[in-house]
Amino acid sequence: MIILNGGSSSGKSGIARCLQAVLPDPWLAFGCDSFIDALPAKIQASDEGIVFAANGEVSVGADFRALEAAWMDGVAAMARAGARVIIDDVFLGGAASQQRWLQTLGGLAVLWVGVRCESAVAAGREVARGDRIQGMAAAQADAVHEGVCYDLEVDTTQTESLACARTIAAHVSWSPDLPGLVSPGLWSSMWTGGWTALWRAARGCRR
Backbone angles phi, psi at 58, to 5 degrees: -120, 130
Distance CA(146)–CA(94), nearest Å, equals 5
> Cβ–Cβ contacts within 10 Å for residue 47, how many?
12
**Does residue 184 belong to the site contacting a second copy (CB under 8 A)?**
no
Q: Which of 127, 181, 197, 198 lies at the binding interface for a second copy (CB under 8 A)? A: 127
CB neighbours of 114 closer than 8 A, spacing ≥ 6? 5, 6, 145, 148, 150, 152, 153, 154
Q: Which of 109, 152, 162, 182 lies at the binding interface for a second copy (CB under 8 A)? A: 162
Strands 50-52 and 58-60: antiparallel
Of all helices (H) and strands (E), which one includes residue 98? helix 95-105
For residues 34, 35, 39, 41, the Cα torsion angle rounded to the nearest 10 degrees is -40
Give first-to-last CA distance, the chain, whole Å: 25
Distance CA(82)–CA(126), nearest Å, equals 35
Residue nearer to a second copy on the CB measure, 38 or 202: 38
**From the CB of 167, what's the least distance to a second copy, in Å?**
13
Q: Which of 93, 94, 124, 147 lies at the binding interface for a second copy (CB under 8 A)? A: 124
Residues 80-109 that bind a second copy (CB under 8 A): 80-83
Residue nearer to a second copy on the CB measure, 18 or 172: 18
* Number of residues binding to a second copy, judged by CB under 8 A: 49
Task: Please indicate whether residue 33 is annotated as part of the active site.
Answer: yes
**From the CB of 190, what's the least distance to a second copy, in Å?**
20
**From the CB of 22, what's the least distance to a second copy, in Å?**
8
Q: Which of 1, 2, 3, 15 lies at the binding interface for a second copy (CB under 8 A)? A: 15
Residues 33-72 that bind a second copy (CB under 8 A): 34, 37-43, 49, 63, 66-67, 69-71
Which of 33, 63, 151, 155 does the annotation list as catalytic? 33
Are the C-beta atoms of residues 12 and 32 closer than 8 Å to each other? no
Distance CA(39)–CA(42), nearest Å, equals 8
Residues with catalytic function: 33
Instruction: Kindly list the residues in this chain that would bind a second copy in the complex (CB under 8 A).
Output: 11, 14-15, 17-18, 20-21, 26-30, 34, 37-43, 49, 63, 66-67, 69-71, 73-83, 121, 124-125, 127-130, 160-163
